[in-house]
């Protein structure tokens, strides 16, 4: 199937069965597979491989752990539409352990986790949401009588791959900001080995879904950068694809919230937008399946750099970003140029000085341009008084 053209698969029985499971039409299912392949930056023909994997392969078992976090990453998953969450966890992956979404509790939940780990040893995906507290032996977060450190290491031991979802799990996020009383840190620091990180507060659910689909299709996780972030999602700066980029290049900036430039959609750089130093695909993939503009900058708020360690939760929200690969020109024309009114007295004096006028002439110009008629009268009065005294 993977070597065929995607459109030719429309009548394939397995495609029809997979589409039925996902409660999609066949074409909608094929469009979903094509979208996943495009999101991942895969070459032509890979969409058919994605279709084959989703239609025929066994759903990967997923164990999802919660530690120091606000459950925002899970909440973002709940709002995915292509596919919706129930289709994702029942037909694309097998979510065998998730404390927030489980109906069961206590010993039943822990038994489900251990069963999934045993039956899928070496094959399951471990997803970690939240930072890991390490101070005082990790006593600040316990689940089922075990510290987060113990539980993480136990589940990671036989996992096929570990995915840290959200900024908290990726590098410590908000819990790790000063003074960091619990010693919170990212998953990779605790495990002492690289993991796939999908930072964001929250991250886009499709970045996670695409990562899982890549694993399902090729048996491996997608290529990552030096921080473990999938390159398909985190290889370009937010600034590069921002819809306000043209205003940045033209020197048009909002200076205050609610001012004329802000209402007209001008660049938010001077209001503290961290897009020029933050790597993420927010401008292109957006959030919430609610149409254009559904991401912070599109809605009028500066990017806070939540995907970038050292920026999100550390730099003040309205501090100006460090520009990584481009500087705004200092010589761009103003948006509206006033009508010329000729040289002012001040500009004439400056021009005379720059031109290097002779000392005598410069003194005369300074006198004529710097003294008003009233000042000249005062000078004459002083001279008269001096003569009278003599």
Give 326's pLDDT tier (boundaries 50, 70, 90).
low
**DSSP one-letter string for 24-81:** --HHHHHHHHHHHHHHTTPPTTHHHHHHHHHHHSPPPEEEEEE-BS-SHHHHHHHT-B
- Helices and strands (DSSP H and E) totals, the chain: 18, 9
User: Which domains, and CATH codes, for the chain?
Assistant: 58-233 (3.40.50.700), 236-331 (4.10.480.10)
pLDDT of 327: 59
pLDDT digits (tens, 9 = 90+) for 166-181: 999 999 999 999 999 9
Question: Which CA distances in Å does 46 have to 6, 39, 234, 382?
Answer: 9, 11, 21, 93
pLDDT of 41: 67
CA dihedral 281, 282, 285, 290 (to 10 degrees): 180
- Taking the complete model, does pTM exceed 0.75, yes or no? no
Give 372's pLDDT tier (boundaries 50, 70, 90).
very low
Q: What average pLDDT score do residues 226-249 get?
A: 93
pLDDT of 361: 40
Q: What average pLDDT score do residues 291-305 get?
A: 87
Question: Which CA distances in Å does 99 have to 63, 133, 168, 212?
Answer: 10, 18, 17, 20
Q: What average pLDDT score do residues 324-329 get?
A: 63
pLDDT digits (tens, 9 = 90+) for 68-124: 999 989 888 877 766 665 566 656 677 888 888 887 778 888 898 999 999 999 989
Is the preceding peptide bond at 42 cis, omega within 30 degrees of 0?
no
């Amino acid at each position: 199937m993977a070597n065929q053209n995607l459109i030719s698969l429309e009548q394939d029985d397995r495609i029809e069965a997979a589409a039925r499971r996902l409660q999609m039409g066949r074409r909608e299912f094929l469009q979903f597979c094509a979208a996943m392949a495009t999101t991942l930056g895969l070459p032509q023909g890979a969409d058919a491989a994605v279709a084959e994997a989703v239609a025929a392969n066994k759903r990967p078992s997923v164990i999802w752990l919660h530690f120091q976090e606000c459950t925002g990453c899970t909440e973002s998953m709940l709002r995915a539409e292509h596919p919706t969450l129930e289709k994702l966890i029942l037909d694309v992956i097998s979510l065998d352990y998730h404390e927030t979404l489980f109906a069961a509790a206590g010993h039943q939940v822990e038994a489900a986790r251990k069963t999934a780990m045993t039956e899928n040893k070496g094959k399951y995906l471990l997803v970690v949401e939240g930072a890991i507290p390490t101070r005082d032996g990790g006593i600040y977060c316990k689940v089922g009588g075990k510290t987060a450190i113990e539980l993480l290491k136990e589940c990671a031991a036989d996992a096929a791959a570990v995915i840290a979802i959200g900024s908290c799990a990726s590098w410590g996020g908000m819990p790790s900001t000063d003074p960091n009383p619990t010693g919170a840190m990212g998953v990779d620091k605790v495990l002492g080995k690289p993991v796939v990180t999908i930072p964001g507060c929250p991250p886009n659910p499709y970045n996670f879904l695409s990562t899982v689909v890549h694993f399902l299709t090729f048996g491996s996780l997608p290529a990552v950068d030096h921080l473990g972030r999938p390159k398909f999602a985190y290889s370009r700066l937010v600034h590069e694809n921002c819809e306000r980029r043209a205003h940045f290049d033209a020197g048009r900036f909002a200076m205050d919230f609610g001012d004329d430039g802000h209402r007209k959609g001008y660049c938010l750089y001077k209001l503290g937008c961290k897009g020029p130093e933050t790597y993420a695909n927010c401008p292109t993939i957006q959030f919430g399946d609610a149409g254009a503009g559904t991401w912070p900058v599109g809605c009028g708020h500066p990017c806070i750099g939540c995907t970038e360690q050292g920026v999100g939760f550390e730099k003040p929200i309205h501090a100006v970003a460090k520009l990584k690969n481009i500087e705004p020109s200092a010589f761009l024309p103003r948006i509206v140029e006033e009508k010329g009114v000729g040289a002012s007295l001040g500009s004439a004096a400056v021009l005379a000085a720059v031109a290097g006028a002779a000392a005598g002439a410069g003194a005369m110009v300074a006198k004529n341009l710097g003294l008003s008629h009233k000042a000249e009268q005062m000078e004459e009065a002083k001279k008269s008084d001096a003569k009278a005294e003599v």
